[in-house]
Amino acid sequence: MCSLERDVLSSGRVLVTGGAGFIGSTLIRRLVPLCEKVIVFDNFVSGSRKNLEGFEQKVDIVEGDICDQSFHEILDQQRVAFLFHLAAHPFIPSCYDEPLKFFNVNSLGTMNVLLAAKRARVKRIVLFSTSEVYGTAQYVPMDENHPLDPSSTYAVSKCAADRLAQTFFYEHNLPLTIVRQFNCYGPRETHPYIIPEIISQLSKSRVIELGNTAARRDFTYVDDAADAAISIAACKEAIGEVFNVGSGNDISIMELAHLIGELMGVDDVEIQRDPIRLRPKDVERLYCDASKVSRLTGWMPKMRLREGLEHTIDWYKKNSFEWPYHSNPSYAKCS
């Protein structure tokens, strides 16, 4: 196990790309007490300024695009020492209609971030990848040696960024670490993923429409995901490594819907199959082995699924039964 140098984050400025997004906005909440200065970099296409409420005076907010050449100047001007790269187009259903956009942002945008980080001599970089690069589980639990078999344009674009980052580590000596994050959930969701969708639908009716209810996923509460990323950034021995981050448990979408129904007081949930929600080639199972990050940093997920769902449902109710994505025109038809 490495000795975590959490105080190392206080010795320089930290920039989070996608910092107004779902995981990004949670990450900045964890970073603010630890760091000299936290910089939120976001183009606010899917990220929401509402996600930064209460922190506007505690962080620097820079609006911009990771694909722009100006990102190089921003890293230089802000004297960034630590970089968390989360900016991406992440919503898989959209990638079928806009494959070029996904590649431009997720793959070429990441290359621009890495080149800028090299020029600015950033001390440590944590790049968020995804469990989707693995495709359907060929064995469980899935460790970092699991074969890569991406099943969507999104997953392929993230896989390209993932492998590109590894290449930059070896060819350019960039001090980076890759996090393959399994499915995340919690407050401030910026895209209509399965958990906010189920919660939204059940707030209106006991009859809900879903796609592949047999699929199984490993869900991590967003605070746990953010804490894992910070532990990795604070561990010098993590540089050059790839880490899975997940809960170490999986659940079917059918079971998940009934569990959320129970927590929302809807005991007679009726699920109707919606063909529009089915993916051309779906990932049937994701089940994380996060033992590597646990061994090295001591990180362990703290939030159990039932408790995390209760927190998420409570946040949704306290925020007028709305997710940040409800005000995004791209998702006007959701829920």
pLDDT single digits (tens) 116-132: 999 999 999 999 999 99
Instruction: Provide the whole-model pTM.
Output: 0.96
Say if residues 88 and 128 touch (Cβ distance below 8 Å). yes
Tell me what the pLDDT averaged over the chain comes to. 95
Strands 184-185, 80-85: pairing kind: unpaired
Cα separation, 330 vs 49, whole angstroms: 17
Q: What confidence score (pLDDT) does residue 10 get?
A: 85
Cα separation, 80 vs 201, whole angstroms: 42
Largest CA distance in the chain: 58
Q: What is the mean pLDDT of residues 42-69?
A: 96
Q: Tokens 């009726």 sit at which residue?
A: 270
Give residue 52's identity as a one-letter amino acid code: L
Is it the case that residue 335 has pLDDT exceeding 80? no
Cα separation, 303 vs 313, whole angstroms: 14
From residue 274, alpha-carbon distances to 29, 149, 248, 308 in Å are 37, 26, 29, 27
pLDDT digits (tens, 9 = 90+) for 293-332: 999 999 999 999 999 999 999 999 999 999 999 988 776 5
Instruction: Calculate helix-pair angle for 253-263, 194-202, nearest 10 degrees.
Output: 40
pLDDT digits (tens, 9 = 90+) for 156-210: 999 999 999 999 999 999 999 999 999 999 999 999 999 999 999 999 999 999 9
pLDDT digits (tens, 9 = 90+) for 225-262: 999 999 999 999 999 999 999 999 999 999 999 999 99
Give residue 10's identity as a one-letter amino acid code: S
What 3-state class would DSSP assign to 8?
Answer: helix
Environment class of residue 33 by beta-carbon count within 10 Å: exposed (0-12), middle (13-18) or buried (19+)?
Answer: exposed
Say if residues 182 and 222 touch (Cβ distance below 8 Å). no
Domains of the chain, each with CATH number or no CATH = 6-186+219-245 (3.40.50.720), 194-216+249-283+303-329 (3.90.25.10)
Is it the case that residue 334 has pLDDT exceeding 60? no
